A and B are shown apart, each in its own frame.
Chain A
Amino acid sequence: MSNTTQLLRFITAGSVDDGKSTLIGRLLHDSKSIFEDQLSAITKTSERRGGMGAVDLSLLTDGLQAEREQGITIDVAYRYFATPKRKFIIGDTPGHEQYTRNMVTAASTANLAIILIDARKGVLTQTRRHTFITSLVGVPHIVLAVNKMDMVDYSEETFDAICAEYRAFAAQLGLHEMTCIPMSALNGDMVVERGENLNWYQGSPLLELLENVVIDHDINTTDFRYPVQWVCRPQTQEYHDFRGYMGRIESGDIAAGDEITILPSGRTTKVKEIVTFDGNLQRACAPQSVTLTLTDEIDISRGDMFVKSAAMPQVSKEFEAMLCWLSESPLDLSRKYIIKHTTRVVKCLFARLEYRVDVNTLEQHSSATLNMNDIARVAMKVQQPLVFDSYITNRFTGSFIVIDEATNNTVAAGMIIIG
């Protein structure tokens, strides 16, 4: 690793049958990220299960005892590997229909999604579902991995036909930028190495693409948004009058001397210093965690947001959002819930259920409630105003979670829509 290694988070969507675990195993194995003791453990398991000689790379991503017994992946697991260019975090999610919520969870932090297709089967219902969720959660980059090319004689025509069908479907969702790669995870073609079987393919193998995709603009770089996390008042001799506002810059940048607006109050002031443990900075930008001091004494607390931009966020007690229901207990429209949005926690209620989306057909249906894995458009009311942007323009200030006050469980994930 060098001093310029970047971090890329990606997810893989597909079912066990598409060879998803084998693909991840292949990436880890061929990039030399598998350790001998891990390999020896899965070799033992492969043998015990009656595997025929070849080590089952998919076993590398099996995590918990319960899963090993059932032979399925039941939750999001995170894997790590690195090349000299980048460090990677894989959010590994199962492909079963009932686990839409797991994919939403893993996708929420991803820069890139790999949508896996079995070349023999082409674009399936689950492909559409995975792509819809990817677009809903706003994953910035999409790779269509057409796997099992070895089973279709590495046919370029088959690959082209699948890509054309997929691109036509994705365009309906407004997705136009994507890369399609033919591969055989089993044989290692076009995953890390090019292999010998897909010479007609002009693009990069998967790993090369993961190493080079430009992610600098995945975060909104224009609109400064700074939710106050914690007010720092040391009250020591040395720092008697120090009052710093700690937080993470969620988007945009800030310099000492810049004028900022504090929301929801709307008061304006100037940034005096950008304080860090390693010394004061002249300028800072997302995703840095810093401490800001201000030129004026203003009453500010956690949950307030500092902003500086031509495009101001909305300040409102009402908004609409796309919601993914995550809980086994259905939505109860008569109850109040809690929303956590940036660093603000407020009570909320569901004013209207506009429609539910069938994730397989993308059709809209009216609905009286929401069950686990349902995705719907809703209108919400909150007790105190929130300071937000639309999710499309800002993933951090446009997202929220819903918490059930009785159980304290996280029951829904929301993405705010403006207009």
Chain B
Amino acid sequence: MSNQPFTHLDVLESESIHIMREVAAECKNPALLFSGGKDSIVMLRLAEKAFRPARFPFPLVHIDTEHNFPEVIACRDKLASDLGERLIVRSLDDSIKKGTIVLKNADQGRNAFQSVTLLETIAEFGFDACIGGARRDEEKARAKERIFSFRDEFGQWDPKNQRPELWDTYNTRVHAGENIRVFPISNWTEMDIWEYIAREKLYIPDIYYAHEREVIRRDNGILPVSHLVQPRSGEKVEKMMVRFRTVGDMTCTCPVESHARNAQEIIEETAITRITERGATRMDDQTSEASMELRKKEGYF
């Protein structure tokens, strides 16, 4: 017999499919967190590969900060509807109205508050597992997180007390009220994601590709001008060819200068870039070396 060699993408894809099927089989009421960003679009393709010709055994859930790029929200809705899968959207604005989120000012970054609305949504639907598109190469705290990451009733991650994870034998068990976060693309890197997008010809929001955009320079970064980000006195609006490496909260997600117009050109740029994905694009992660770790301990996915 001759085994054809499998590429790293084949192996990663099969691992992710295996993980998703374990969730479907062992968890009572799972959900797939889906934002319309590139990683979660890869997750949708993996779910198709895992479960077609049947429908997904879980709904898609988006925790909307209301600070998202309109192109991303449009893509989210289009993909969910093209696939014929159920999409549940819960907004941070609902939590703000209820008073469970209190903002210091209306325009501040909202990434840190997603945990509150996420936990409220988990309680509302009784989800016992949330599948997310986080990757270990993104950030130091993520590098130590399990693929099946146990959370207590407060949604807290305890990095010093994680369940050992051996082979591909996953412990999915939780008590009532507890929750598991599952990260099927833990072992993928930013490069793997782009190679997969190119290989699978995935449709992603066009702001991932180079386009001309009005930006301002602030705090060592480039910020996109929008209804949420307006130039302060002394700041100048410039037009620049940019693309987004991540698409999060518009008030703190920075684009990078680029002329890459398709996935192949992004792969070439990614191969020679000298700045990490979050380092280049997320102002909120730069506030402290431990900011992601602190957010995760509070229930962030």
A→B interface (CB under 8 Å): 1, 3-7, 35-38, 41, 45, 62-66, 68, 74-80, 82, 86-87, 89, 101-102, 104-105, 108-109, 216, 221-222, 229-230, 232-234, 236, 238-239, 242, 244, 246-248, 253, 275-278, 285-289, 302, 326, 338, 340-343, 345, 395-396, 399-401, 403, 408-410, 413
Contacts and interface: CB of A to CB of B under 8 A. Distances in A.
Contact of B171 (A80, A108, A232, A408): A408
A393 B258 CA distance: 51
Nearest to B199: A3
B156 interface: no
A66 to B, nearest CB: 6
B105 interface: no
Interface residues of B, number: 68
Contacts of B284: none
B6 interface: yes
Contacts of A66: 159-160
B265 interface: no
Contacts of B6: 6, 287-288
Contact of B143 (A41, A63, A277): A63
A65 B26 CA distance: 33
B48 A277 contact: yes
A64 B1 CA distance: 46
Given A63-B140, A287-B6, A289-B14, 8 more contacts: A6-B6, A37-B276, A64-B141, A109-B166, A229-B18, A242-B53, A248-B18, A288-B6
A88 B193 CA distance: 15
Contacts of A221: 1, 3
Nearest to B173: A408
The 6 closest A-B pairs by CB, nearest first: A37-B279, A7-B8, A289-B17, A234-B54, A65-B290, A408-B173
Nearest to A60: B140
A403 B173 contact: yes
Interface stretch (B29-37, B184-192, B210-218): B184-192
B7 A6 contact: yes
18 contacts: A1-B271, A7-B12, A35-B275, A38-B279, A41-B289, A66-B159, A105-B164, A248-B18, A275-B53, A276-B49, A277-B49, A285-B3, A287-B6, A288-B10, A288-B14, A289-B14, A399-B169, A401-B166
Interface string B1-30: 101111110111111011001101110000
B184 to A, nearest CB: 11
Contacts of B171: 340, 401, 403, 408-410
A274 B140 CA distance: 40
Nearest to A278: B49
B166 A108 contact: yes
B124 interface: no
A287 B159 contact: no
B293 A6 contact: no
Contact of A80 (B21, B136, B170): B136
A400 B167 CA distance: 9
A277 B52 contact: yes
B175 interface: yes
B30 to A, nearest CB: 12
Nearest to B291: A65
Contacts, number: 186
Contact of B167 (A7, A229, A399): A399
A4 B7 contact: yes
Contacts of A403: 171, 173
A216 B2 CA distance: 10
Nearest to A82: B191
A229 B166 contact: no
B21 A229 contact: yes
Nearest to A252: B1
A247 B51 CA distance: 11
Interface string B223-256: 0000000000000000000000000000000000
Contacts of B279: 35, 37-38
Contacts of A102: 164
A109 B53 contact: no
B144 A63 contact: yes
A246 B21 contact: yes
Interface string B192-209: 100100000000000000
Contacts of A68: 289-290
B298 interface: no
B185 to A, nearest CB: 12
Nearest to A248: B18
Nearest to B1: A253
B189 A82 contact: yes
B19 to A, nearest CB: 10
B78 interface: no
Given A4-B5, A399-B167, A76 B144 contact: yes
B274 A396 contact: no
A151 to B, nearest CB: 30
A246 B57 CA distance: 13
A65 B289 CA distance: 8
Contacts of A101: 164
Contact of B165 (A7, A105, A234, A342): A105
Contacts of B191: 1, 82
Nearest to B150: A408
A108 B293 CA distance: 26
B168 A109 contact: yes
Given A64-B140, A64-B293, A285-B3, A230 B21 contact: yes
Contacts of B274: 35-36
B167 A77 contact: no
Contacts of A74: 160
A234 B54 CA distance: 4
